[in-house]
């Protein structure tokens, strides 16, 4: 199992960024997927979940209405569209596979920095 | 979606046992048997150590064990080893396909 995030970088407050997570080593379409972030020196924060079959989506209150999770099963890819970014969104963002209601595999993480 | 409560730090000598607590509410820890624990070394991605309160993924030493009582979950590390020194996070399912994490506990092996 391998998960590889990309698309991070420096963005100004109010700006947008789209993260991608490329999956390999498992049947991507069989698994729900998640985004989790970690602000510098802080703990983990769950952000969003997308179901495998229905593609229903769920969000933490902190990002609902600003972030959009999506997936392309044909391309084994997970995405996170982040709009109206705030300083407090600065963090390392991880994609994580959902197995048995836990996060059993994680990507290496990608840094998003919101700064003027 | 309030964070679960963990002690900021814990410590023990090699060979000893240490237990880390994770306190939530009836809406998360107390309401579901879906508590998981993660080990995170500095600069690395988290690693799943325990899921469904007590289950260990393949490859995780049986020195790591989980339990729960009411709204509080516990991770016990027995026979402490130097490589167990790390940050540990609990997480609980909170219903409607949402999750909540604890603030993390820094485990020091003395």
Question: What residues contact A25, with CB distance under 8 A and at least 6 apart?
Answer: A1, A2
**How far away is chain B from the Cα of A44, in angstroms, using its nearest Cα?**
6
The mean pLDDT value of chain A amounts to 96
Task: Tell me how crowded residue A73 is: count the other CB atoms within 10 A of its CB.
Answer: 14
Cβ of A101 and B89 within 8 Å?
A: no
**Sheet arrangement for strand B72-77:** B18-23, B72-77, B64-69
- Whole-number Cα distances in Å, A52 to A30, A99, B101: 6, 11, 22
- Whole-number Cα distances in Å, A8 to A50, A67, A82, A109: 20, 14, 11, 9
Task: Tell me how crowded residue B55 is: count the other CB atoms within 10 A of its CB.
Answer: 14
Q: What percent of chain B has pLDDT over 90?
A: 98
CB-nearest to A46 from B96, B99, B103 is B99
Distance, CA of A10 to chain centre: 16
Cβ of B89 and A107 within 8 Å?
A: no
**Residues of chain A found within 8 Å of residue B34, distances taken between Cβ atoms:** 101-102
Q: What percent of chain B has pLDDT over 70?
A: 99
Residue B5 has pLDDT above 80, yes or no: yes
* Mean pLDDT computed over A53-73: 93
The pLDDT score that the predictor gives to residue A65 is 96
Cβ of B89 and A43 within 8 Å?
A: yes
Query: Which of A25-39, A49-63, B3-17, B74-88 is the least confident region?
Result: A49-63
* Mean pLDDT computed over A42-49: 97
**Residues of chain A found within 8 Å of residue B1, distances taken between Cβ atoms:** 60-62
pLDDT band at B1 (very low <50, low <70, confident <90, very high): low
Residue B25 has pLDDT above 90, yes or no: yes
**How far away is chain B from the Cα of A33, in angstroms, using its nearest Cα?**
11
Are the C-beta atoms of residues B33 and B97 closer than 8 Å to each other?
no
**Residues of chain B found within 8 Å of residue A94, distances taken between Cβ atoms:** 45-46
- E strand or H helix at A1, and its extent? none
**How far away is chain A from the Cα of B44, in angstroms, using its nearest Cα?**
7
**Residues of chain B found within 8 Å of residue A44, distances taken between Cβ atoms:** 38, 40, 46, 89, 91, 101, 104
**Residue pLDDT, tens place only, B77-108:** 999 999 999 999 999 999 999 999 999 999 99
């Amino acid at each position: 199992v391998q998960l590889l995030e990309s698309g991070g970088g420096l963005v100004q407050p109010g700006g947008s960024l789209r993260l991608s997570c490329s999956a390999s080593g498992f049947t991507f379409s069989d698994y729900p997927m998640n985004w989790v972030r970690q602000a510098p020196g802080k703990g983990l924060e769950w952000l969003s979940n997308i179901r495998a079959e229905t593609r229903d989506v769920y969000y933490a209150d902190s990002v609902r209405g600003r972030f959009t999770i999506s997936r392309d099963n044909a391309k084994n890819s997970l995405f996170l569209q982040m709009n109206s970014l705030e300083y407090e969104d600065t963090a390392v963002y991880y994609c994580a596979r959902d197995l048995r209601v836990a996060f059993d595999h994680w990507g290496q993480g990608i840094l998003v920095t919101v700064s003027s | 979606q309030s964070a679960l409560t963990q002690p900021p730090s814990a410590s023990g000598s090699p060979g000893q046992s240490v237990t880390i607590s994770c306190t939530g509410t009836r809406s998360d820890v107390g309401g579901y048997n879906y508590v998981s624990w993660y080990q995170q070394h500095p600069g690395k991605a988290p690693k799943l150590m325990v899921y469904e309160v007590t289950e260990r993924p393949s490859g995780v030493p049986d020195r790591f064990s989980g339990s729960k009582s009411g709204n509080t979950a516990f991770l016990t590390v027995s026979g402490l080893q130097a490589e167990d020194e790390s940050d540990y996070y609990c997480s609980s399912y909170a219903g409607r396909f949402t999750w909540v994490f604890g603030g993390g506990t820094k485990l020091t092996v003395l």
